[in-house]
Amino acid sequence: MKFLPLVWAILWRKKVRTIFTLLSIVVAFLLFGMLQGVNSAFKQTVDRANVNRLIVANSISFTESLPFSYLSRIESVPGVAHVSHQNWFGPYYQDPKNFIAAFPVDAEREAAVYPERKLPKEQFDALLHTRTGAVAGRQLAEKYGWKVGDRIPLHSTIWVKKDGSSDWEFDLVGIYDVPSDPAQENAFQFNYQYFDEARSFSRGNIGWFVVQVSDPARSAEVAAAIDRLFANSTAETKTSTEKEFQQAFLKQIGDINLIVTYILFAVFFSLLFATGSTMMQSVRERVPELAILKTLGFTDTAVLALVLVESLALCVFAALAGLGLAIAWFPSLKDAIGIASMPPIVFVEGILMAAGLALATGIIPALRAKRLVIVEALRS
């Protein structure tokens, strides 16, 4: 501890160089925070998926429908606690850019399968009793400034009503919260009955079923039992856990993880050179000073440690600043990825990266400082 002022003084020996090196590292960790943050936000969507829930979709692809009659047959499978059903509504609000994740559902079944959604009792009752009623997640409602009681027109790109129009109107009767996973607050649910009676084609068909199993340990078994039930029928099913389902979907978009890894690898590769060169220069210039320290009684190991601490201080301090900037900047990505803050794990990873970087760039100059022979060093 008593050497901290010494490390501090060494760092600011050449102000300009230290400042620019610091800034290079800050910038690299800003990028690390943002990119790794996005990456881990996507991973979290998958990790937070409920292990109790299964998705039963058509085996050809989840865009193919399933008959409504499967509902009672799935319910009768042992181990199934609740079943809900959803359809892909594919609407936008006012402008094609404002895509909304909206689903026609049976309100009571939906509530049983998604207990984490918190909707006030009177709003839930209103949904049950209003044919054109709908509920929206808190984040979605805030995004478009919707209030309970508003009449919301959505244009479906798929479903046409019997009157030939694709414009559907809903009465917003409730707004729900999902404290355990705010990313879920971006959806919109409305009554299936209204949807099924008004749509002009494909009536009685369901997009997919969501099954709540009574014992998560048996979910694989239950999934296999459901698929067996419909094997060799006209619409075979493929049942996967919610987690597998979301993983498969994210993978289809592209390998985000791989792209982020490539970019960060490139960033840290160049940072290794920038910081490494600074450390080398810093030690080279201080050869006489280091020799004096050794003359004063510093052991070889102490000198080695001194250089390593110098590099550690530089990297960790800059990394803290960079990650801090990333945390401050992260909320602006909310619309794109649905979460408002950088996952804390990224911060920890960042600090570990900084320590690794410090070790990698500091070790060669530190060894050189350790091996200095006093007489020769002083003579130079």
The interface with other proteins within residues 345-374 (CB under 8 A) comprises none
Type of residue found at 343: P
How many chain residues bind other proteins (CB under 8 A)? 48
**What's the closest the beta carbon of residue 180 comes to other proteins, in angstroms?**
27
Residue in the block written with tokens 């099913």: 237
Residues of 26-59 as b/e, b for ≥16 C-beta within 10 angstroms?
bbbbbbbbbbbbbbbbbbbbbebbbebbbbbbbb
Identified binder of other proteins from the candidate list 4, 6, 60, 128, rule CB under 8 A: 60
Residue (145 or 254) nearer to other proteins, CB: 254
Site string for other proteins, 210-249 (x = CB under 8 A): ----------------------x-x---x--------xx-
Residues 150-169 that bind other proteins (CB under 8 A): 155, 157-158, 160, 164, 166
CB of 219 to other proteins, least distance (A): 19
Q: Is 278 in the site for other proteins (CB under 8 A)?
A: yes
- Is residue 251 involved in binding other proteins (CB under 8 A)? yes
Whether the CB-CB separation of 283 and 369 falls below 8 Å is answered with: yes
Q: For residue 356, which phi and psi values (nearest 5 degrees)?
A: -60, -45
Strands (E), the chain: 53-58, 66-67, 80-86, 91-92, 101-105, 133-137, 151-156, 167-176, 187-191, 205-206, 208-213, 237-241
By CB neighbour count within 10 A (0-12 exposed, 13-18 middle, 19+ buried), where does 158 fall?
middle
- Cβ proximity to other proteins: between 218 and 251 the closer is 251
How far is Cα 178 from Cα 190, in angstroms, rounded to an integer?
A: 17
Q: Residue numbers of the site for other proteins (CB under 8 A)?
A: 16-17, 20-21, 23-24, 27-28, 30-31, 35, 59-61, 63-64, 90, 96, 155, 157-158, 160, 164, 166, 201, 232, 234, 238, 247-248, 251-254, 259, 262-263, 266-267, 269-271, 273-274, 277-278, 280-281
